[in-house]
Structure 1
Amino acid sequence: MNFKLAILSLIIFLNGYWITEARAQETPFTLEESVSYALENNAEARNARLEIEAARGLVGERTAEGLPQINANLNATKNLVVPITPFPAVFLDPEAQEGEFIGVQFSPEFTAGLTATVSQMIFNGSYFIGLKAAKTYRQLAEVDRKLTELEVIENVKKAYYSVLVSGEREALVKANLSRIDTLLKETKILYEEGFAEKIDVSRIQVQHNNIQTELDKAKTATLVSMRLLKFQMGMPQSQEITLVDTITGLESLLDAERLLVEEGEQRVEIDQVNTNYDLATLDLKNNQIQYMPRLDANYTFQRNAFGGNFSNLWSGDWFTGSVIGVTLQIPIFDGFTKRYKIQQNRVQLRQLEVQKESVLQNIVIEKFQSRQNLINSLKALDVQRENRDLALEVFDMAKIKYQEGVGSNLEVVEADSALKEAETNYFSALYDAFIAKVDLEKALGILK
């Protein structure tokens, strides 16, 4: 007996230990912590940061084009067949006839050469514009990163709320199943004692089965919502997490009065259009400055060697030569290529102006629509909260009447269905209010 008690105690202890360990491996996350984690680990956010690094590299590349360019070449060649060069025969034989030529080999069999070239840009208008364009492109990458992070914040918040609502719905179905299960047991006892009919038991059994099916669906919805949240956060699906916040606890964040009078800040989309406009302007200037000449300085140093065999090639004499000079490239006519490029640039600038006007108008509409959606969502939330309280009151009254024998179980079943629907509608309305709040914050440019 003592041995069996010891084994049972050990099993209980191990089960408790395993449960504690499993819970310890679960990482708790608040809404703010989920957003912070996503900004560091979400794939889109990480790519946006990498794009900034690439833009910095582009700035360095454009800067390097204005620095001295140094190249060195070392070559060695062997003439498999030494070319024959025609040479007037009269130079070798005064008695040779006029116009007579003989073949002479001027090229050695082996040649080697070492050449070093240094070139330095002196003036190139495109260089300075290109350098400024690269810096502007880096600014565009920063703006794109902000826009991407806003989308990540929006998606994570909505996914977080979805998990909370799905969890509440699952809890509601479980509570409803528990109520029906208790009612079913009580009705079966009444039926066995002759105080209830078989149809009463069957009716509640049908309700019980339907709720069990709804519970399975609710569990699946919670699981899918959690996986979606992990995906938006950039978290491995194998990582177990728990959500610290609750949907009712976050209800205090619905600061509608402040949001409804908030004017907002300049949207990132406007910064994006403005930066694109700056880039298009620089492209226009770059094409215009192509009409100006380009001046480069260059210096070449070379050493050459010749030999009849490969070994003598490197041990023989090397002949030195050097050249210094400047190159002035003057554009004269390119078939109107630059002219048509400038024409396209000007059209692109007008298109960006139209796009900016459209974005501004769209933002005004988004603000108005988001405000109205939040107002309607809050009104619907108040109504559904009242309906939930009333449905709970009706259910309690119907259950008391049934237990006292002055009501039917049909009233209880109907009241339970109404309560379940009212509770579901309440949390759906609460979820819609949170989504409307996020949409309005995004429209106002204050989402964070």
Structure 2
Amino acid sequence: MRKILFYMCCLMPVLGYTQSLSVEQLWAEMTKGNAYQQKQIEKSIKNEDLQELRSNRIPVFYLDANLQRNLIIPTTPVPAIAFDPTAADGAIIPLKFATKWSSKVGVQMEWDLFDPKRGIQEQQKRLDIDRASINLEKQVQEWKIDATLAYAAVVLATEQYALAVEDSISYQKILTIVKKRYDEGREGGTEYVQAQQELERRRINLYEAWSVLVDSDLELRRFVNLDSTKVLSSNMNDIGSFAHALRVNNYELETLQLDQQMNELQQRELKKGLLPTVKVNAYLGEQFYSNEFRLDRGADWFGNSFINLALRIPLSTYLSIQPSLRKSALKQQLTELQLVEEQYDDQIRGRQKAVKIEAAVKKLASYQAIEKLSIENKSIKEKEFEAGRILLVELLQSHAAFQQAKRERWQASYDLLKISLKTE
């Protein structure tokens, strides 16, 4: 009896704190999870990718400055007749077209005035954001499912442990009766030994139930901090109601639909690559030339400014694009087939799930009826044993049937919950 009370006291550190935790409160803790925050950051990164691409629409301005010391001034041969009309035909004159010091300071502007791929690329970035949103929603759904199942496991493990404690206490009373009868000579030694063995088995069941409860508690701590939690306030009926209200989506379908849209954009991007691009470059500044390092001398600075309009027309792309277009078309065809297959499989899984839920509900109802009958039978056998009308073995059989009925009902409850939550 002391050992039983000891284990009941040991249960308190697991659940013995200051407040309760319902399934609804558990779901509210989802945003504090590390996995959720990772997916949220990934979505934010995709948003910033789009903003970064949009910022490329405006011209890029930057300051361009340099200072150069020519250690050896290069010499360039030029026709002598350009400077001396009387020079002989073919004569050349070596000239130096640089100074010892040169510098440049100005503002440079670059602007992609027309890029046919830009609109497609922005649409691709938006699809990346949609994909990140789907991943976030999928993470939320998976977290709720796994956390709810872990919560239910603790609820059932708590019931199992409470039953093990109750059974151990109850059997302690049975052993007292058997011992009294043995001392009075109304019970044989074999029955007394058997009764003591059964008490040890009850203690083993108690140890195992405690181990399952602690393990379930630790599993639930993967999803929520239980340091301030005293009890789990939702029972299996409450959990089932939340599970029924949870809409379980097939995000694989949504992902394939995004893949289909992305393939279409890639095909359009390839075709847009055949169009010309237009870029504008401009510069406004001054250049310094002198054999003396006198940057403060204004006479040695000369203005320099230009605007450059560059038109780029692809030529070889017309020849090399065909394999890429065929590859993109095949990818699109593959995605369409996968989407059709997934839609069909999703319908089949939905029907299978409905059948499984219906069977699980009936199974649970039957096990609940069996449990109720086993409780009545156990009560009858206990009274008959106390009156001395049946042997110990018959009483133990009724206890075993009762415990088996409890375990079957617990398992049926958990199976129904799992079927309701899972998409498979």
User: Which TM-score bucket, shorter chain as reference?
Assistant: 0.7 to 0.9
Q: Are 1:435 and 2:424 an aligned pair?
A: no
Q: Aligned partners of 1:192 and 1:412: how far apart in 2?
A: 20
Which residue number corresponds to residue 136 of structure 1?
A: 127
Partner of 2:235: 246
How far apart are 1:212 and its partner, in Å? Answer: 1.6
Aligned to 2:22: 30
Q: 1:86 to 1:382 in 2, by over 3 A?
A: closer
- CA shift, 1:366, in A, is 1.3
Query: What residue is the counterpart of 1:123 in the other structure?
Result: 114
1:71-120, Cα deviation, whole Å (9 max, x unpaired): 222212223x3144154696899999987878665433332212322122
Q: CA deviation at 1:275?
A: 2.0
* In structure 2, distance between residues paired with 1:374 and 1:70: 65
Once residues 348 and 386 of structure 2 are traced to their aligned partners in structure 1, the CA distance between those partners, rounded to angstroms, is 56
Match for residue 295 of structure 2 among 313, 323, 326 = 313
Query: 2:238 and 2:44 mapped to 1: Cα distance?
Result: 40
**Deviation (angstroms), 1:186:** 2.2
Matched positions, count: 410
Equivalent in the alignment of 2:314? 331
Aligned to 1:12: none
Partner in structure 1 of residue 280 of structure 2: 297
TM-score (norm: length of structure 1): 0.82
Cα gap change, 1:326/1:32 in structure 2, threshold over 3 Å: closer, same or farther?
same
Structure 2 residue aligned with 1:53: 44
Structure 2 regions of 5+ residues with no counterpart?
Answer: 1-11
Q: TM-score, normalised by structure 2?
A: 0.87
C-alpha distance in 1 between matches for 2:19 and 2:279 = 62
Write the distance in 2 (CA, Å) between the matches of 1:326 and 1:225: 70
Query: Mind listing any 5+ residue stretches in structure 1 that lack a counterpart?
Result: 1-18, 444-448
Aligned-partner Cα distance in 2 for 1:333–1:251: 64
For 1:245, the aligned partner's letter is S
SS of match in other structure, 1:324 = strand
**What is residue 366 of structure 1 aligned with on the other side?**
349
Give the corresponding residue for 2:213: 222
Q: 1:90 to 1:139 in 2, by over 3 A?
A: closer
For residue 380 of structure 2, the aligned residue among 391, 397, 421 is: 397
Contact map agreement 1:55 1:141 (CA 8 A) in 2: yes
Alpha-carbon separation, structure 1, partners of 2:96 and 2:366 = 106
Question: For the Cα contact (< 8 Å) 2:141–2:248, is it kept in 1?
Answer: no
Q: What secondary structure sits across from 1:125 in the alignment?
A: coil
Deviation per CA, 1:167-187, whole angstroms, max 9, x where unpaired?
Answer: 111112111112112211222
Give yes or no for contact 2:78–2:95 (8 Å, CA) kept in 1.
Answer: no
Q: Is the 8 A contact 2:161 2:209 kept in 1?
A: yes
Amino acid in the other structure paired with 1:85: T
1:194 to 160, 185, 193: 185
| Percentage of identical aligned residues | 16
**What is the DSSP-based 3-state SS (H/G/I as helix, E as strand, rest coil) of the residue aligned with 1:72?**
strand
Correspondence for 2:4: none
CA distance in 2 between counterparts of 1:75 and 1:348 reads: 50
Which residue pairs with 1:10 in the alignment? none
Distance 1:309 1:155 in 2: 78
